[in-house]
């Protein structure tokens, strides 16, 4: 098996992956991620790469989401391959410009709703630390309703996959419980509070790696 990027370069401390607890966006992962990036970049010993994997969602998939049509298992697997390669490419570019004496910390934000999406990313980045931003569905729905232009808006909950597919693997698009080790943050806490929890986790990991 190919050696994964998170293991191959000692300048890469870890991949920090943020996800959330419900099928629609709105748990606060983007806001919290961006706040953590700003705080960490002001530190003296790290450079932070931030990737929101929404940029990897193709236009046809965005349009389908808007109609409540969700990707099939095959489509999800192909998307995750593309997204993992995107992260690897961004990491390689970032390492070319990293400042002397600093370590690279990578924060990836995405709604890893399905277990197959998580499994694909975990296989590619086995050293990633996962942070679950836990928020109730009502609050998440209110937040996404207030956002402009998000492709999840107006999506129905009853349709999935391609019109020709009726298999069980494509019959639902809903959050699946996380069965592997992860850090849980309360999405109802303040942005500042959750930001500092992430910062402390990164700092603790950095200290442990140096000891």
Q: How far apart are the C-alpha atoms of 110 and 34, rounded to whole Å?
A: 13
**Residue 87 predicted with pLDDT over 90:** yes
Residue 209 DSSP one-character state: H
* Token representation of residue 108: 């990836």
pLDDT band per the 50, 70, 90 thresholds, residue 89? very high
What b/e sequence results for 91-120 when a residue is b if at least 16 CB atoms lie within 10 Å of its CB, and e otherwise? Answer: beebeeeeeeeebbbbbbbbbbbbebbbeb
pLDDT band per the 50, 70, 90 thresholds, residue 172? low
Q: How far apart are the C-alpha atoms of 50 and 27, rounded to whole Å?
A: 18
Question: How confident is the model over 92-121, as a mean pLDDT?
Answer: 87
Query: Nearest-CA neighbor of 59 among 42, 44, 79?
Result: 79
Q: How far apart are the C-alpha atoms of 29 and 14, rounded to whole Å?
A: 18
Q: How far apart are the C-alpha atoms of 24 and 153, rounded to whole Å?
A: 9
**Could you tell me which residue, 152 or 129, shows the higher pLDDT?**
129
What's the pTM value of the predicted model, to 2 decimals?
0.75
**Residue 181 predicted with pLDDT over 70:** yes
User: Where in the chain are the domains?
Assistant: 5-210
**Could you tell me which residue, 209 or 89, shows the higher pLDDT?**
89
User: Which pLDDT tens digit goes with each residue over 30-60?
Assistant: 888 999 999 998 876 888 999 999 999 999 9
User: Coil, helix or strand for 60?
Assistant: helix
Q: Where are the beta strands (DSSP E) in 7-160?
A: 12-20, 46-52, 103-109, 129-134
What's domain 5-210's architecture?
3-Layer(aba) Sandwich (3.40)
What's the confidence (pLDDT) of residue 74? 92
Residue 129 DSSP one-character state: E
């Amino acid at each position: 098996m190919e050696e994964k990027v998170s293991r191959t370069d000692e300048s890469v401390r870890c991949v920090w992956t943020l996800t959330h607890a419900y099928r629609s966006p709105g748990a606060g992962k983007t806001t919290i991620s961006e706040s953590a990036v700003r705080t960490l970049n002001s530190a003296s010993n790290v450079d932070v790469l931030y990737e929101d994997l929404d940029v990897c969602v193709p236009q046809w998939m965005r349009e389908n989401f808007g109609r409540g049509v969700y990707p099939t298992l095959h489509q999800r697997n192909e998307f995750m391959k593309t997204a993992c390669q995107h992260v690897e490419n961004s990491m390689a570019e970032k390492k070319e410009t990293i400042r002397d004496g600093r370590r690279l910390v990578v924060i990836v934000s995405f709604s890893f709703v399905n277990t197959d999406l998580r499994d694909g990313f975990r296989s590619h980045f086995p050293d990633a630390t996962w942070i679950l931003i836990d928020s109730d569905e009502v609050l998440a729905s209110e937040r996404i309703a207030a956002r402009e232009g998000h492709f999840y808006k107006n999506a129905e909950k009853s349709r999935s996959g391609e019109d020709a597919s009726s298999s069980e693997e494509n019959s639902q698009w809903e959050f699946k419980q996380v069965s592997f080790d992860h850090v849980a943050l309360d999405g109802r806490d303040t942005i500042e509070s959750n930001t500092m929890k992430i910062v402390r986790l990164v700092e603790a990991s950095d200290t442990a790696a140096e000891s």
